[in-house]
Chain A
Amino acid sequence: QQQVKQSPQSLIVQKGGISIINCAYENTAFDYFPWYQQFPGKGPALLIAIRPDVSEKKEGRFTISFNKSAKQFSLHIMDSQPGDSATYFCAASYAGKSTFGDGTTLTVKP
């Protein structure tokens, strides 16, 4: 059962553009929503995370928007840079157990 659906599967953005990745979840028990960044040959690394009691969280160029009623959340990368090219995973967590989306491969063209 896919509890976290992520889209798009791949994304190509020009340098300086905005990258947007979306996720939807089913289980309303989830109460923590992290985003991870993964480079080839490396493990995922936490980028930014949000709890459902807030609708938005911003850290530098990265913003999470959260819509509890729609059970959706998204990652926005402003002023995208070639160094942001990586695979991004959303996740939904409850009681320390995380369920991951299938990932979005982002390519930022210079």
Chain B
Amino acid sequence: EAGVVQSPRYKIIEKKQPVAFWCNPISGHNTLYWYLQNLGQGPELLIRYENEEAVDDSQLPKDRFSAERLKGVDSTLKIQPAELGDSAVYLCASSSEGGKHNEQFFGPGTRLTVL
């Protein structure tokens, strides 16, 4: 069974440019999470989806970040425009039932460098 797939794995952009990350969760997992992980820190939740509904986006900087999960399967996270401080690893995770204590399965992440 394939795990959580993320692409690209690495992205280098100039500041003020847009960037998008894609995530395909484990088949059948209805809950999808986007996390930001700064160097030397733990993951911080950006947004959580239950199917196609964003149930927790309180930590998403909505002035420049947006996300979508139109068909309740794969998801895209976008930053526009990117800033130097956005350099981090963006992790996607999925679980079978987010409201319960089910294991979150993480993808390998996308490492973003903003120059």
Contact = CB atoms under 8 A, between A and B. Distances in A.
Nearest to A38: B106
A45 B91 CA distance: 12
Interface residues of B, number: 25
Contacts, number: 54
A97 B48 contact: yes
A42 B9 CA distance: 10
Contact of A43 (B40, B44, B91, B100): B91
Contacts of B53: none
A103 B109 contact: no
Interface string B26-61: 000001000000001111110010000000100000
Interface residues of A, number: 25
A96 B42 contact: no
B62 interface: no
